Amino acid sequence: MSQHQPDMISTSTPERQPVVNDFSITFCTVNGSGSATSNLTVLRAIFKMGIPVSGKNIFPSNIQGLPTWYSIRVNKDGFTARVEKDDIIVAMNPATFIQDLDYVVPGGMVLYSDDIKLTPTRSDLTYYPMPVKQLIRSIDITPQLRDFVSNMIYVGVLAWLIGIDMEAIRAALEYHFKGRAKPVETNLAAIRVAYDWAAANLQENHTYRLQPMKATEGMILSDGNTAAALGAIYGGVQFVAWYPITPGSSLPEALIEYLPELRMNKETGEQNYMIVQAEDEIAAIGMLVGAGWGGLRAMTATAGPGLSLMTEYLGLAYFAEVPLVVWDVQRVGPSTGLPTRTAQGDLTGVYFMGHGDTNFIQLFPGNMNECFEFGWKAFDIAERLQMPVVVLSDLDLGMNQWMGQPFEYPDRPMDRGKVLWEGDLDLFEAKTGKKWGRYLDVDGDGIPYRTLPGNLNPRSAYFTRGTGHDEYARYSEDPEVWERNILRLAKKIQTAKSYMPGPVIQRMEQAQAGIIAVGSTDAAVQEARLKLADRGIKTDYMRIRGWPFTQEVDEFVRTHERIYVVEINRDGQLRQILMINYPEQASHFRKVARVNGLPLSARWIIDEILSQEEK
Amino acid sequence: MTTVDAQTGINKVGLSRADYKGLPSTLCQGCGHNAISNQIIAAMYELDVIPEKIVKFSGIGCSSKSPAYFLNRSFSFNGLHGRMPSMALGTLFADMTLKGIGVSGDGDTASIGLGQFKHLIRRNLPMVYIVENNGVYGLTKGQFSATAEKGLTLKHEGTNLFLPVDICLEALASNATFVARSFAGDPKQVKELIKAAISHRGVAVLDIISPCVTFNNKDDTIHSYVFGKEHEVRLHDLIFTPARDMLTIEDFAEGDTRDVELYDGSMITLHKLGTDYDPRDRQAAFKVLEEARVKRELLTGLIYVNPDEPSIFDLYKFPEKPFNRMTEQEIRPPSETIRMVNEWMFSA
């Protein structure tokens, strides 16, 4: 131990009441050092103890060597948004040690590796140097494994300090290592050594304590991308083409992991799906257009830069009326931006994507469960409307672990839309009295009937093109034909409203303002609303879940004179879209927007709204 | 060598030649592309192909318009410039019993679409990929393409300073399993190569020099009719025999031929001309292409074939039923599995 440490231990004020199940811990580590397993183990163990918990990984665009932070928030009331201060930090990275101290609340705790020889700058914190190297040497493992398990030392010390249940830790490790005994025991041994060392050498502090609850009973823990992939599997996804990009990649990678489990014939080894890692995003979306046109449930996942590349093909898919699903897991742009940080910066980009008059159905999942739900629902909407659907998730939702209710099996049969096979063509003609035409709107909803390649009826084939075409898919430059067709496409957007998920609206008695948000900011908005109400500002809250907006959205906008639009981007993009959709109520919308790469905190939202309310 | 009834003109699947036709062409009179469309019609008719089992794909350009001019009874997707290969891959997974015929041009393949072209070849998707190669952009009225020869002078563009991209070499370098070059002015060879290509289980690249009578047909330029007629050097004469016609094969004189058996048992018989060329020899393929370039010859014929390489469909185990005919019961996991999935999610 270095000289400064002994008198730094246990300087906390003994009269302080322990904080139970309401604090945050940040692990400050070096990317590529294997800390992710340790951090997830702590998160899962707390969850297993029945205590509401959330975790956020703030990581660099780097494989090894740059600083990474992982923040866990423990909150008995179930708040899961990011908080701006740390109660406890586990400082393992000398490069950020001094800076990391700045974020700790007065009276907070600092666990750190004793090979960090820097002098702490604050005397209002309690310091716990951990002899990581010395402890790890006392465990009987090969030197190669030492680096892997050395991060388990802080798990053990923390377990003793805040009271993480050892059985919960074991369950977390068994889950992580898929029940393989050897790594579970090796890691547990390191945790026990550290726990015992802490018990023997550290003075009890009890500033922050965990107490088992039953608040997570029956719940699950998943990241949004995994949830989306599983939802897509229950939506019958048949064709996936993708190109690696953060933070989209873990979605197709979850498909790669789970499709064989759920959709492969175990006896024959036959798979009724195909996954292609394409040469770029242009090819990935091209494959989807081909597959969607061929009648398959086709999807991809990407992020802003990939979506930019996909734009041309998406325009064709809109105009040629090809169903497909694109998950845009948003990160910070413009350009390459901050590839590993979260944002909601693609809202107007997607809204206006494509040249000419082009529209896309958009879905905004707000939590992990909705990622699952929209995973399957997006296919129903795409095939019903014969249109591309873009699902806008983000890095925070997609890549971080979230608590949620168990996934629910789809509550309705699949909607495969208007498809005619061999015998259906005669039925169509008997019923409508008209010769079938690919772009003929016989139902008045703007949606024509389509045939699929492989249909052996000699009248089923048609020529698909991105150029002007009439109801019978014939090339046409006729002004009337063009206008008729483009207006019919607009009608599909009107029709779409009855297939869209409506908003989630929460009201307060005598609310004086409204809040509108989409997506992952939900956690922070929920928390901000309750705390604003404590300060006398009552709000109604509408979380929009898709575009085109449904009637409930119209209603909310009309009935609230002052609406704060909360979002993670610079320009207030959701607000801009609302102003375009509701020009007469354009003055209702107030901007509460920022982008700095981090999820919004409730505190920032509260401060923003308070300052605008005072004006 | 066809099974068409000479009296009625009806082939084995009960169709006449008219059943393979498309709309009247809107390309220029004398365009090489029209000659190729006619040979596609003839090849499919003579091979008794059911038109509904073919899907046509194209990109953008004069060549890419041509799928409208053949096989009216086949589905067709005229997609984006240079991006046809990806689209074709997606569609052919919808029903793996379908055969794709892609028609592209030299701009569509060798300029904007070179990446997708090479990756399609790498994946060895079973389809015919025809490049109607005229060295010039027709639809935008006469700009240089990437296959234009160095020194070519065009009316509005001046002189091309750059060496051309050779589509056959690009295909070979990407491990293509079927590479042929032909000339729109040699319809018999075009037809036989199309027949062989459609029977190949993998990407079959046909680079067909197809003169642009409007913008690039000066007698001394390599993409012109006159140059082609005067400088075409056939590697061999070839005939294609479908598997079912093996007993009636009219062979060339013994000792002068080489046979290549394709995946489905059909046969390409190559009649020796000059040298005894073996199209299964990849190194020889590179060599003859280079020699032809140096000698400024239009070398035509089956340049390379490897019938043994698996196609993308052979690398996985798929059910026989087409994907696009699968029912909800087949593609949505049963409700009892949701419990297991929730357990995977570390349920508390």
Question: Which residues of chain B lie closer than 8 angstroms to A220, CB-CB?
Answer: 342, 345-348
Closest partner CB to A452 (pick from B50, B76, B324): B324
pLDDT score, position B246: 65
**Residue range A145-168: average pLDDT?**
94
Name which of B69, B323, B326 to mutate to probe chain A: the one with the most chain A Cβ atoms within 10 A of its Cβ. Answer: B323
Instruction: State pLDDT tens for residues A170-181.
Output: 999 999 999 999
Instruction: State pLDDT tens for residues A299-344.
Output: 999 999 999 999 999 999 999 999 999 999 999 999 999 999 999 9
Cite the DSSP H helix spans in A454-521: 479-496
Dmax over CA atoms of chain A, in Å, equals 94
| Interchain CB distance below 8 Å, A313 and B76 | no
Distance CA B193, CA B130 (A): 11
| Interchain CB distance below 8 Å, A235 and B332 | yes
User: What's the CATH class of domain A6-209?
Assistant: alpha beta
| Interchain CB distance below 8 Å, A454 and B324 | yes
CA distance A105 to chain B (A): 31
CA atoms within 13 A on the CB side of A389: 33
pLDDT score, position A16: 67
**Residue range A543-566: average pLDDT?**
98
C-alpha distances in angstroms, A314 versus A74, A305, A592, B103?
Answer: 42, 14, 31, 22
Instruction: State pLDDT tens for residues A493-529.
Output: 999 999 999 999 999 999 999 999 999 999 999 999 9
Cis ω for the linkage preceding A334 (within 30 of 0): yes
Nearest chain B residue to A259 by CA: give it: B333
CA distance A302 to chain B (A): 17
Q: What is the interface pTM, i.e. ipTM, of the complex?
A: 0.97
pLDDT score, position A2: 37
Closest partner CB to A272 (pick from B119, B331, B342): B331
Q: What is the CATH number of domain A504-614?
A: 3.40.50.920
Cα B148 to chain centroid distance, Å, stands at 20
DSSP reduced 3-state for B241: strand
Strand partners, A500: none
Closest partner CB to A452 (pick from B68, B94, B328): B94
> Mean pLDDT in chain A?
95
Question: Which residues of chain A lie closer than 8 angstroms to B325, CB-CB?
Answer: 421, 454
pLDDT band with cut points at 50, 70 and 90 for residue A6: very low
| Interchain CB distance below 8 Å, B119 and A297 | no
Nearest chain A residue to B89 by CA: give it: A287
Three-state SS string over A187-211 comes to HHHHHHHHHHHHHHHCCCCCCEECC
Q: In percent, how much of chain A has pLDDT > 70? A: 97
CB crowding B335-345: b at 16 or more within 10 Å, else e: eeebeebbebb
pLDDT band with cut points at 50, 70 and 90 for residue A32: confident
Question: Which residues of chain B lie closer than 8 angstroms to A463, CB-CB?
Answer: 67-68, 76, 78
Higher pLDDT, A492 or A59: A492
Nearest chain B residue to A171 by CA: give it: B346
Closest partner CB to B93 (pick from A230, A274, A408): A274
| Interchain CB distance below 8 Å, B80 and A312 | yes
Domain ranges for chain A, please list them: 6-209, 222-404, 419-499, 504-614
Residue A134 has pLDDT above 80, yes or no: yes
| Interchain CB distance below 8 Å, A270 and B319 | yes
| Interchain CB distance below 8 Å, A219 and B52 | no
Distance CA B330, CA A355 (A): 38
CB atoms within 10 A of CB B318: 17
Question: Which residues of chain B lie closer than 8 angstroms to A270, CB-CB?
Answer: 317-319
Question: Which residues of chain B lie closer than 8 angstroms to A314, CB-CB?
Answer: none
Q: In percent, how much of chain A has pLDDT > 90? A: 92
pLDDT score, position B6: 83
Distance CA A151, CA B327 (A): 49
Nearest chain B residue to A311 by CA: give it: B80
- Structural domains in chain B, CATH included, are 17-315 (3.40.50.970)
| Interchain CB distance below 8 Å, A461 and B52 | yes
pLDDT score, position B5: 84
pLDDT score, position B204: 98
Residue A13 has pLDDT above 60, yes or no: no
Name which of B20, B83, B328 to mutate to probe chain A: the one with the most chain A Cβ atoms within 10 A of its Cβ. Answer: B83
Distance CA A234, CA A36 (A): 29
Cα-flanking dihedrals φ and ψ of residue B219, to 5°? -55, -30
Distance CA B348, CA A215 (A): 10
Count Cβ atoms within 10 A of the Cβ of residue B10 and give its class: 0-12 exposed, 13-18 middle, 19 or more buried: middle
DSSP reduced 3-state for A536: coil
| Interchain CB distance below 8 Å, B85 and A175 | no
Show Cβ contacts of residue A604 under 8 Å, excluding neighbours closer than 6 positions: A84, A524, A594
pLDDT score, position B252: 62
pLDDT score, position A3: 36
| Interchain CB distance below 8 Å, A286 and B338 | no
Cα B139 to chain centroid distance, Å, stands at 21
pLDDT band with cut points at 50, 70 and 90 for residue A8: very low
Same fold: A6-209 with A222-404: no
CA atoms within 13 A on the CB side of A501: 25
pLDDT score, position A59: 86
Strand partners, A463: B76
Higher pLDDT, A207 or B75: B75
- Please give the sequence-ordered ranges of beta strands (E in DSSP) within A114-164, or none if there are none: 126-130
Query: Beta strands B178-183 and B203-209: pairing type?
Result: parallel
Distance CA B178, CA B44 (A): 19
CA distance B109 to chain A (A): 14
Show Cβ contacts of residue A440 under 8 Å, excluding neighbours closer than 6 positions: A434, A448, A449, A471, A472
Closest partner CB to B74 (pick from A234, A268, A461): A461
| Interchain CB distance below 8 Å, A456 and B318 | no
- Closest alpha carbon to A155 in A264, A36, A259, A238: A36
The DSSP symbol for A66 reads S
Closest partner CB to A234 (pick from B325, B332, B342): B332
DSSP for B133-153, written as a single string: E-SEETTTTSEE-TTSPTT-E
Distance CA B88, CA B278 (A): 31
Q: Which stretches of chain B score pLDDT less than 50?
A: none
Cite the DSSP H helix spans in A464-585: 479-496, 522-534, 551-559, 573-581
- Please give the sequence-ordered ranges of beta strands (E in DSSP) within A148-297, or none if there are none: 208-209, 220-223, 239-242, 274-277
pLDDT score, position B2: 58
Closest partner CB to A293 (pick from B77, B123, B322): B77
Residue A10 has pLDDT above 50, yes or no: no
Distance CA B229, CA B236 (A): 16
Query: Beta strands A22-30 and A67-75: pairing type?
Result: antiparallel
The pair of three-digit structure tokens given for residue B70, joined into one six-digit string: 């053949």
Size of interface A-B (CB pairs under 8 A): 225
Whether A556 contacts A542, CB under 8 Å: yes
- Closest alpha carbon to A452 in B55, B86, B332: B55
Range A222-404 has CATH code 3.40.50.970: yes
CA distance A504 to chain B (A): 24
The pair of three-digit structure tokens given for residue A497, joined into one six-digit string: 């409203």
